[in-house]
Structure 1
Amino acid sequence: MNYLKQFLTGFLLTLIFHQGIIVIGYFFGIFPNFPYSIIPTEPFLIPSIISISLFGGVIIWYLVKRFKGSILWILSGLLLIMFFTIIIAPLKEIYINTARFFNIFILNGDWGIGNTLFVKLFRRSY
């Protein structure tokens, strides 16, 4: 049951924090695309927002299961930034310049802050 709670926490974090900051950035002209996209993504052709949220759930499940204390909070933001810039961007042939790196840093740092808040809030239930 704890793993399900951790997964759902990550799923909700992605919807609230990751996509929430994109909404704010979209209205200020920082991000060109509106979040919560329902356009199907490869390879499973499920809506983009569901795909992002599922991966968010898996990442939180793994981080909470594997790490405790301060290292959990540090890795929450940094690991996500590194994951995108080192793995996802090259696979999708996305060029990372300074402005894009700053956007990635803000998006995933916000997600990491949300992770910290949720895990501290629900610590007893994990």
Structure 2
Amino acid sequence: MTQRIVLSRFILAFIAGVISVLVFHQGMLALLHTINFTSRSPYPMTPTAPFGIPQVFSSALWGGVWGLVWAAIAPSFRRKNYWIAALLFGALAPTLVAWFVVAPLKSQPLAGGWQPAGMVTGLLVNGAWGFGTALLLSLFARRQAFSR
């Protein structure tokens, strides 16, 4: 692959990750909130430290960063395993980092205090993000191939 194609793939992966947070991640959170599985509501505008960025936009930014990670590892998965890998990557990688790296840095309990509903919510919303990111990246790549 040329450098231009690789750069283009990573830019698209970042965009896919951002959009996936806004559509798939927050969509799953909206569904879980609607059925009263979680008290967390979608699209939170609560300011985050240290810059006061609304939480949903902070999450979207990090979704873009995780999209870059997905773009780096996705080519190693075969076509039939791609969707399973995307779902598992999304559910596990960001969730485990949030539970065991971010939470202690923010003086929060590990794994959401081991509360089952909170743990399942994290796995589901991030799994939805992973699937959405892979789907969008796949659609972007297909569109890019047709435009050549």
How does the TM-score come out when normalised to structure 2? 0.73
Give 2:118's aligned residue: 100
Maintained 8 Å contact 2:91/2:122: no
| Distance in 2 between residues matched to 1:75 and 1:39, nearest whole Å | 27
Which of structures 1 and 2 has the bigger CA Rg? Answer: 2
Distance 2:136 2:55 in 1: 23
Q: Give the structure 1 partner of residue 102 of structure 2.
A: 88
| Equivalent residues in 2 for 1:67-86, closer than 5 Å | 67-70=74-77, 73=86, 74-86=88-100
1:76–1:116 CA contact under 8 A, matched in 2: no
**Aligned with 1:46 (options 42, 50, 53):** 53
Match of 2:31 among 24, 30, 39: 24
Q: If each structure's helix is expressed as a fraction of its own residues, which one has the higher value?
A: 2
Q: How many residues are aligned here? A: 126
Looking at structure 2, the residues matched to 31 and 39 of structure 1 have their Cα atoms a distance apart, in angstroms, of: 17
> Could you list the runs of 5+ residues in structure 2 that have no partner in the other structure?
1-6
Match of 1:11 in 2: 18
Identity %: 28
Q: Scaled by the length of structure 1, what TM-score is found?
A: 0.84
Using the alignment, how far apart are the partners of 2:117 and 2:46 within structure 1?
Answer: 25
Counterpart amino acid of residue 116 in structure 1: A
Shift, 1:119, TM fit: 2.3
Letter of the aligned partner of 1:103 in structure 2? Answer: T
Aligned partner of 1:62: which letter? V
What stretches of structure 1 of length at least 5 have no aligned partner? none
1:114 alignment partner, SS class: helix
Aligned partners of 1:10 and 1:57 also within 8 Å: yes
Aligned partners of 1:77 and 1:113 also within 8 Å: no
Cα RMSD of the aligned pairs, angstroms, is: 2.2
> Contact 2:12 / 2:137 at 8 angstroms: preserved in 1?
no
